[in-house]
Amino acid sequence: MNALTQDLDNQATDKELISVQTSRFGTLEVDPDKIITLTSPFLGFPESIRFILRAHAPDSPFMWLQSLDNQELAFVVISSALLPEKYNPKIPKQTINELAIRSDKEIDMLVLLTIPAGNPQEMTANLLGPLIINTTKRLAKQIVLDPKKYNPCLPLFPQS
């Protein structure tokens, strides 16, 4: 199971769903098996540890990481595999253990985006703080990498 395939539009009909109110998407019906639990919260958002991924649009590479604990909190993310440059940082062993990852097949890595209002061509990706997900156990953690090696504001559409 890959985190990128966990879209709310593909709900199983035989499961009891959880109803969650959000500011962006209204009321969502969430499959409990698709909830991603952070082992430690994002900096500045200590109340938010449960999230779901929601596709931005059917053929869009962008996704929303919507908090289930704070209806106002949602991050725009993309798979690290879609970045224009090679990006394959080493995940610390402590994170591997904390997320109970047993195989590389269980790992998904998402990158948080910053999209300036009214100026999407200046969108940047945070390579310094990727979100690592154990896709089997649905556990996740944002890690902080070496700032000398990884750009926290990589332009996705560089000016030529």
Report the CATH number that the domain containing residue 62 is assigned in CATH. 2.30.290.10
Residue type, 128: L
Q: Quick one: average pLDDT of 133-140? A: 97
pLDDT at position 8, please? Answer: 41
Count Cα neighbours of 18 within 13 Å in the Cβ-side half-sphere. Answer: 14
Q: Quick one: average pLDDT of 80-107? A: 94
End-to-end Cα, the chain, rounded Å: 38
- Total structural domains in the chain? 1
Q: Of 10-24, 46-60, 121-135, give the lowest mean pLDDT range.
A: 10-24
Per the structure, the complete domain to which residue 32 belongs is given by: 3-155
| 117 is a domain residue | yes
| 149 is a domain residue | yes
Q: Quick one: average pLDDT of 120-131? A: 96
Distance from the Cα of residue 156 to its chain's centroid:
17
pLDDT band at 90 (very low <50, low <70, confident <90, very high): very high
| 53 is a domain residue | yes
Query: Can you state the percent helix, strand and coil of the chain, rounding each to 5?
Result: 15, 30, 55
| 73 is a domain residue | yes
Residue type, 21: Q
| 160 is a domain residue | no
Distance CA 141, CA 133 (A): 7
pLDDT at position 12, please? Answer: 55
pLDDT at position 81, please? Answer: 93
CB 49 within 8 A of CB 70: no
Phi, psi angles (nearest 5°) of residue 140: -145, 160
